[in-house]
Structure 1
Amino acid sequence: MNTLLKTLLALSAGALALQAQAVPYQSIVPAKSSVSFSYKQMGVGMDGRFKKFAAQLSFDPAKAEQAKASFEVDLTSVDTGSGEADDEVVTKSWFNAAAFPKAQFVAKQIKQTAPNQYEVQGTLSIKGLTRELKFPMKHTAQGKDGLLTGGFTMKRADYTIGEGMWAKFDVVANDIQVNFSLATTPGK
């Protein structure tokens, strides 16, 4: 057997061994993950984040169509950079966190659109209102772990975030950009 053929067989066997060891991502590492948002207030760009969130997932990048994922954000963990704003945004006019402490996303379908690129479709529930949502997601392998990144623009009016005098968009814009970066691992 010539050297080239031996090398190809060895590489093929190695690739098959790696594929056999592939384990779906089963959990996120919160300390290495983030959920952030940005919006405009009186025409000025503002940023914030959520400090507490959790996910349940089973995601194999090679078998995206079999994935299962749900994600919960603790709305009381909001960090706008201002204690006064943090206190305001959890009130009944905004998140109504006393009655609806969590936002939840449940994936219905994940499909691969290009290498390491996916389209995620599911439902987002906030304040007891559920809407369909679709957004792009990117996967970056990091050894046995991975990083899932993406984002979407939501309309706060779709979830009655900002009621009464805040229902208009002259002070706080309707469009809220949400971004996520989730460090994933096969273990729980």
Structure 2
Amino acid sequence: MKSTRTALAVLLSGTVLAAAAVPLKTDVAHSSVSATFKQMNVPVESNFKRFNAQVDYDPAHPENASAKVDIDTASFDMGQADYNKEIAKKEWFNSAQFPKASFVSSSIKPAGAGKLAVTGKLTIKGKTQDVSFPLSVKAQGAQQVFEGQLPIHRLAFNVGEGEWKDTGMVADDIIIKFRITAGQ
């Protein structure tokens, strides 16, 4: 009887290990994170040049997936050096005190063919909020491509303080867009 329980325990532990998500290596050259916002009612999209994404994912068991993304806030590139310096200042990202913005998933669930529903915590400038968003995932050769958009309000994270709280110049609505390509 004891050997049957031992065999069952070994079998079950092997099943749990087989169902675990697989750590993937991010292909930074084929990945991107950007923010789209309106400045004086004109859409602007700018990229973060430096970020790190850690994705654990097994297409056979997407419910076991997890993700963590860290973004270097000083790497936000608006296309002009003066703008880039301004956005890193205390009123905006305050990159000296808060060099990273981060997202950590708490739940990833299947939501139809090639779709996932993601929930987690987004932290920007020391402020953390629960967020949820849809995510598409597709195989591309030996890699997985994860794409999504996360709408946020910049003022909820104190991005744009003082005179920049006025949303007449820069709108409160921001869409964080991302494409993470990763494989084993």
TM category (shorter chain) comes to: 0.7 to 0.9
Residue 36 (structure 2) aligns with: 38
Structure 1 residues 136-155: aligned runs within 5 Å: 136-155=134-153
Equivalent positions of 1:25-174 (< 5 A) are: 25-174=23-172
Aligned equivalents of 2:59 and 2:92: distance in 1?
36
User: Contact 1:24–1:58 (CA<8 Å) still a contact in 2?
Assistant: yes
Q: In structure 2, how many angstroms separate the alpha carbons of the residues matched to 1:77 and 1:102? A: 10
User: What are the ranges of 5 or more consecutive residues in structure 1 without an aligned counterpart?
Assistant: 1-19
How far is the alpha carbon of 1:55 from its aligned partner? 1.5
Q: CA deviation at 1:49?
A: 0.5
Contact 2:72 2:101 in 1 (8 A): yes
- Deviation at 1:127? 0.8
Aligned match of 2:183: 185
Q: CA contact under 8 A between 1:91 and 1:97: conserved in structure 2? A: yes
Distance 2:60 2:123 in 1: 28
For residues 44-83 of structure 1, the C-alpha deviation after alignment (integer angstroms, 9 at most, x for no partner) is: 1111000100022211122121112111000111111121
Deviations 1:10-36 (A, max 9, x none): xxxxxxxxxx9xx83512111110001
Matched AA of 2:25: S
- How many pairs align? 165
Q: Is the 8 A contact 1:61 1:116 kept in 2?
A: no
Identical-pair percentage: 38
Secondary structure of 1:184's match? Answer: strand
**TM-score when normalising by structure 1:** 0.85
Q: State the distance in 2 between where 1:124 and 1:136 align.
A: 15
Separation of aligned partners in 1, 2:101 and 2:87: 14
Cα drift, residue 113 of structure 1: 0.6
Counterpart residue identity of residue 94, structure 2? N
CA distance in 1, matches of 2:126, 2:111: 31
Unaligned runs of 5+ in 2: 1-17
